[in-house]
Amino acid sequence: MGPTPLNPRRIRAEILIVLGLSLGMSALYATVSFWRRLADERELSQQTATLNRSLADEQIFDVIYQLLGIISGLVPVALVFYLVWSHTRPRLGAIGLDATRPTRDSAWGVGLAALIGLPGLALYIVGVNQGITVQIVPSALSDYWWTIPVLLLAAIKAGILEEVIAVGYLTHRLGQLGVAPWAIVAIQALLRGFYHLYQGIGPFFGNIAMGVVFALWFMKTKRLAPLIIAHALIDAVAFVGYPLIMGVFPDFLGFTQ
């Protein structure tokens, strides 16, 4: 027997549940955080947002909590894989995932990382200097032997979670609902912007632009792996490179320790 067809009501309910367990809830938290920051007497550029922080004083419990956080962040992805696999052919190929072109996907991923990452860094610096962007601390983990591996895993998790759900899954399911391509692009881009809103106005618009580029790329190529690779690379450079840059150039990113 083939997959059971999904009716529109079930698809809409499924989308709400998936987003409520992942990026949609993150967007709500980020929006509340942003309004809380605006209520602060300090301007946004005088406030900080730490992306990776220690979760326990004891090293062993800190690494356990870090790994559990990474695993729990991927559970919504596992749910999406199950839902798509159960009701769609060609299985995960419907959301742009297969292993047919690893070399080409990797090359495009590196190129997209450069295309998005460098302008994103410039936008961040300008935003901090203009007072509309929060000072982002990519990592505040203690210097343990496992710190870099955990940061790399966190970067990979972010790439998988965001691109699978915000791009591959939403494009597929919204397309099944008959949503116009331009509206799908807009929904994806706005979602990406809102769950980064806690970082300030600059990253909000920067991530909307990133969302537009990634959505258009996916619609043209139907390849999701390059987007996951690009996102993971951008975050990996930020997470791992931040302590090194701050040690040598403490004012480079607009943040003085």
Contact 193, 23 (CB under 8 A): no
pLDDT value of position 88: 64
Which one is predicted more confidently, 162 or 132? 162
pLDDT value of position 250: 56
Tokens for 81, please give them.
């894989």
pLDDT value of position 255: 47
pLDDT value of position 1: 46
pLDDT band, residue 131 (cuts 50/70/90): confident
Please give the average per-residue pLDDT across 233-244, as a whole number.
Answer: 87
Task: Confirm whether 44 is domain-assigned.
Answer: yes
Name residues whose C-beta falls within 8 Å of residue 246's C-beta, 6 or more positions apart in sequence.
Answer: 252, 253, 255, 257
CA dist 231 and 167 (Å) reads 12
pLDDT value of position 121: 84
pLDDT value of position 125: 84
Residue 51 backbone phi and psi in degrees, to 5: -85, -40
In this predicted structure, the answer to whether residue 129 has a pLDDT above a threshold of 90 is no
pLDDT value of position 252: 54
Task: Confirm whether 50 is domain-assigned.
Answer: yes
Task: Confirm whether 229 is domain-assigned.
Answer: yes
pLDDT band, residue 120 (cuts 50/70/90): confident
Task: Confirm whether 9 is domain-assigned.
Answer: no
Which burial class, exposed, middle or buried, applies to 183 when counting CB atoms under 10 A from its CB (0-12, 13-18, 19+)?
A: exposed
What percent of the chain is predicted at pLDDT more than 70?
Answer: 91
Least confident of 69-83, 184-198, 232-246: 232-246
pLDDT value of position 253: 52
CA dist 26 and 158 (Å) reads 12
Number of domains observed in the structure of the chain: 1
Please give the average per-residue pLDDT across 18-47, as a whole number.
Answer: 95
Task: Confirm whether 13 is domain-assigned.
Answer: no
pLDDT band, residue 87 (cuts 50/70/90): confident
Please give the average per-residue pLDDT across 81-105, as a whole number.
Answer: 87
CA dist 85 and 79 (Å) reads 10
Maximal CA-CA distance, the chain? 62
> Token pair 């998988």 is at which residue?
160
Q: Where are the beta strands (DSSP E) in the chain?
A: 48-50, 135-137
Least confident of 38-42, 155-159, 185-189: 38-42
For residue range 216-227, list pLDDT tens digits in order: 999 999 999 999
Helices (H) and strands (E) in the chain, counts: 9, 2
Least confident of 46-60, 77-91, 216-230: 77-91
Task: Confirm whether 3 is domain-assigned.
Answer: no
Q: Which domain holds residue 40?
A: 19-92+100-248
pLDDT value of position 166: 97
Q: Evaluate the CA torsion angle 166, 171, 173, 177 in order and state its sign.
A: positive
Least confident of 4-8, 50-54, 170-174: 4-8
DSSP string, 32-61: HHHHHHHHSSS-GGGSEEESSB---SSHHH
Task: Confirm whether 257 is domain-assigned.
Answer: no
Tokens for 68, please give them.
């559990």
Q: Tell me the range of 28-42, 74-88, 124-138, 231-245 where mean pLDDT is highest.
A: 28-42
What percent of the chain is predicted at pLDDT more than 90?
Answer: 77
Amino acid type, 18: V
Please give the average per-residue pLDDT across 172-185, as a whole number.
Answer: 97
Task: Confirm whether 152 is domain-assigned.
Answer: yes
SS3 199: helix
CA dist 81 and 120 (Å) reads 30
Q: Which of 65, 55, 48, 59 is nearest to 242 (CA)?
A: 48
Contact 226, 115 (CB under 8 A): no
